[in-house]
Amino acid sequence: MKLHGLRLHHLEMPLVAPFTTSFGTQTSKRTFLVEANLIADDGTVWTGWGENVALPDPVYSPEHLEGAALVIERWLAPALFAADDVTAETVGHLLRHIVGQQMAKAAVEMAVLDAQLRADGRSFASYLGAVAPTVPSGVSVGIQESVDATVRAVGGYIEQGYARIKLKIQPGADLAPVAAVRKAFGDELPFQVDANAAYTLVDAAHLRRLDEYGLLLVEQPLGEADIRQHAELAARMTTPICLDESVVSAEAAADAISLGAASVINIKPGRVGGYLEARRIHDIARAHGVAVWCGGMLETGIGRAANAALAALPGFTLPGDISGSDRFYAEDLLTQPIRMHDGVVDVPTGPGFGVQVDPDRLEGFRTRLVELSPER
């Protein structure tokens, strides 16, 4: 198929509650969707949707929202418009001359993939090789203003039926809330923590105290570049170390595994350059006996639907951050929002990502529209 046009829908969506991590607090979700229009050989135009997961500021990764949009406008879109044939499998090759920019590339690849699968009448789950009709739904709990507030928040999500709790931590807000959650809800609660690179190896003795609480894992305790230091920390702790920000590609995942820096990997498709690279990481980890799970970036229903299909692959043995749309948004972009029920989310079975964007809701959240074409 030939790429006929791209539209970048810049959005701002209010969150149902502030979400705090070690690198800041979000009260709304600023993002942009990529709408790709591809023409098949018979002249039929197929539309697909992708979602960019970059934050407004470069605090989680080197990329940021406006930069990702600019990269698409100035470099990625022209390269794809110039190609005689564009498929999801060739997007990475066509854009290989652009260094890095995984989140920008992932959003474009995602839109092309959705359109391609819709043209084939095939679901994303079938394309990937998903093996489960539902996936367990975990929830990510931000840093609260107090220990008591943390316990209340966790209790609320347990009552809603979430299958696993992940608690954000940072220096000064770690041992006390973890201990309180364990005391309140018992040792049987599937429970893990996420530091978002807030510590250094100097904190190893402090982090070892987390071993007392029977956590599933501690996610990204050290900096993005600290692969060797993570390996040293892993040797000192009994709690499994999970890498997030450090894994930006299948190559990086292979390096981390070979160095003993991770016994678990959080796969976020946007962070690694797209769903095809995410599947490669899954395959590498599974071959080495390393567990993987699907992380979240406060995605809209488009990204949630795609993540659910990814998490249905056989190597995803731990619950991911695949909550219902209403975890973060009072109103989502879809005609049928993603719902959590009985602790699980259904894997969509319709063509493409299996969801439909509601045009009225899209327009209501849109702050800017950028249209790109081969002539521009």
One digit per residue, the tens of pLDDT, for the chain of length 376 reads: 999 999 999 999 999 999 898 888 999 999 999 999 999 999 999 999 999 999 999 999 999 999 999 999 999 999 999 999 999 999 999 999 999 999 999 999 999 999 999 999 999 999 999 999 999 999 999 999 999 999 999 999 999 999 999 999 999 999 999 999 999 999 999 999 999 999 999 999 999 999 999 999 999 999 999 999 999 999 999 999 999 999 999 999 999 999 999 999 999 999 999 999 999 999 999 999 999 999 999 999 999 999 999 999 999 999 999 999 999 999 999 999 999 999 999 999 999 999 999 999 999 999 999 999 998 6
Q: What's the pLDDT score for residue 54? A: 97
Amino acid 84: pLDDT? 93
Q: What are phi and psi of 272, to 5 degrees?
A: -100, 0
Chain region(s) in the chain for CATH 3.20.20.120? 126-346
Give the tokens for residue 134. 């539902």
pTM over 0.85? The answer is yes
Going edge to edge, which strands form the sheet with 191-194? 138-141, 164-168, 191-194, 218-219, 241-243, 264-267, 291-294
Residues 6+ apart with CB under 8 A from 206: 174, 175, 199
pLDDT of residue 376: 64
Encoded amino acid at 303, one letter = G
Find the helix or strand (DSSP H, E) in which 29 lies. strand 24-39
Query: Tokens standing for 288?
Result: 């080495």
The one catalytic residue in 29, 105, 166, 268 is 268
Query: Which residues fall within 8 angstroms of residue 313, CB to CB, at 6 or more apart?
Result: 128, 129, 130, 131, 279, 282
Whether 268 sits among the annotated catalytic residues: the reply is yes
Which of 29, 105, 166, 168 is the catalytic position? 168
Range(s) within the chain of domains with CATH label 3.30.390.10 = 2-121+358-371
* Torsion, Cα of 140, 288, 243, 352 (10° steps): -50
Q: Note the maximum CA span of the chain.
A: 64
Q: Which residues contact 90 (CB under 8 A, 6 or more apart)?
A: 83
CA distance 275 to 112: 11
93 vs 128: CA distance, rounded Å: 19
Instruction: Write out the CATH class of domain 2-121+358-371.
Output: alpha beta
* 8 A C-beta contact, residue 298 and residue 26: yes
Helix axes 250-259, 275-287, angle to 10 degrees: 20
**168 has catalytic annotation:** yes
Q: In CATH, what number does 126-346 get?
A: 3.20.20.120
* Region of residue 121 (phi > 0: left; psi between -120 and 50: alpha; otherwise: beta): left
